């Protein structure tokens, strides 16, 4: 942790970021019937800064979101992603795996809600945290598990890094930020379309407002 007091947002950007933010796009996987894939969405009343730039998200399927993240990580650049971090997690060991706990076997209760169902219930899945995809283990061209850089300190996981299965990513990751160059021509064109404005209580708020 480093403290650099007394600087403006612009100074922070110039000193620590320096990226062309217009080269990136936010994409999300919210597989609900009211949000067709290949279209952009934003949440009403966001951004919370008056006059701030609107950043709509493009809704895509989980397979495409995983593939986009894979391309960027293999190119040597991390991927920012939002997720419901408390699900199927071992905080101390630093493991995120959708098969980590046999809750059905222990409790005798079926846990059968799909990702669309959980999103429909609102509180059943939420974007509670953001982390960084920093590496990936690939088998036969497909990601099997990811190296995740967290911000909870070196006492969690392996010096602050977690291991995440791709199944967990598909089930509990909600959105990522990737370079537009990795999007197909159709998806890049979709980014230019006016976004559908969703009410502030829509599950998209978990993607658009999470920090």
pLDDT-based confidence at residue 137 (cuts at 50, 70, 90):
very high
Domain CATH for 83: 3.90.70.10
| Measured distance CA(171)–CA(119) in Å, rounded | 11
Identify the sign of the CA torsion 88, 59, 27, 134: positive
Q: Answer whether residue 141 shows pLDDT above 70.
A: yes
Pairing type for strands 89-90 and 79-83 reads: unpaired
Tell me if 109 sits within 8 A of 43, measured CB to CB. Answer: no
Any domain includes 6 = no
Q: Which domain holds residue 117?
A: 14-208
Give every strand in the sheet of 57-59, ordered side by side. Answer: 89-90, 95-96, 161-165, 142-149, 129-139, 79-83, 173-179, 24-28, 57-59, 40-43, 196-198
Tokens of 197: 């404005």
Query: 160-174 pLDDT, tens per residue?
Result: 999 999 999 999 999
Any domain includes 88 = yes
Cβ partners under 8 Å of residue 72, min gap 6: 78, 79, 133, 178, 179, 182
What is the CB neighbour count within 10 angstroms for residue 182? 17
- Partners of 31 in the beta sheet? none
* pTM for this entry: 0.91
**pLDDT at 184 (0 to 100):** 98
Any domain includes 151 = yes
**pLDDT at 124 (0 to 100):** 67
Any domain includes 117 = yes
**pLDDT at 208 (0 to 100):** 66
Q: For 158, which DSSP code?
A: B
Q: In degrees to the nearest 10, what's the CA dihedral of 107, 109, 112, 113?
A: -90
Any domain includes 8 = no
Any domain includes 3 = no
Any domain includes 2 = no
* CA dist 150 → 24, 84, 92 (Å): 21, 13, 12
> How many domains does the chain fold into?
1
Tokens of 41: 């969405």
Query: 34-87 pLDDT, tens per residue?
Result: 999 999 999 988 877 777 778 899 999 999 999 999 999 999 999 999 999 999
Element (H, E) at 198: strand 196-198
Any domain includes 155 = yes
**pLDDT at 2 (0 to 100):** 81
Tokens of 67: 């593939």
Query: 89-130 pLDDT, tens per residue?
Result: 999 999 999 999 999 999 999 887 899 998 888 666 778 899
């Amino acid at each position: 942790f480093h403290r650099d007091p007394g600087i403006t947002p612009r100074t922070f950007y110039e000193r620590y970021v320096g990226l062309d933010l217009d080269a990136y796009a936010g994409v999300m996987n919210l597989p609900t019937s009211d949000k067709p894939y290949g279209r952009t969405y934003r949440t009403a009343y966001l951004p919370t800064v008056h006059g701030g730039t609107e950043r709509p998200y493009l809704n895509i399927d989980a397979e495409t979101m995983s593939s986009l993240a894979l391309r960027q990580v293999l190119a040597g650049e991390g991927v920012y992603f939002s997720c419901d971090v408390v699900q199927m997690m071992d905080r101390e060991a630093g493991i995120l795996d959708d098969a980590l706990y046999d809750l059905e076997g222990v409790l005798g209760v079926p846990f059968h809600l799909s990702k669309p169902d959980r999103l429909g219930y609102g509180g059943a899945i939420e974007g509670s945290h953001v982390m960084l995809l920093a590496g990936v283990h690939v088998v036969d061209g497909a990601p099997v598990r990811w190296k995740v850089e967290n911000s909870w300190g070196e006492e969690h996981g392996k010096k602050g890094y977690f291991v995440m299965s791709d199944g967990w990513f598909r089930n509990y990751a909600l959105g990522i930020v990737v370079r537009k160059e990795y999007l197909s021509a159709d998806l890049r064109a979709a980014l230019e379309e006016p976004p559908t404005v969703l009410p502030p209580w829509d599950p998209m708020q978990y993607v658009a407002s999470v920090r």
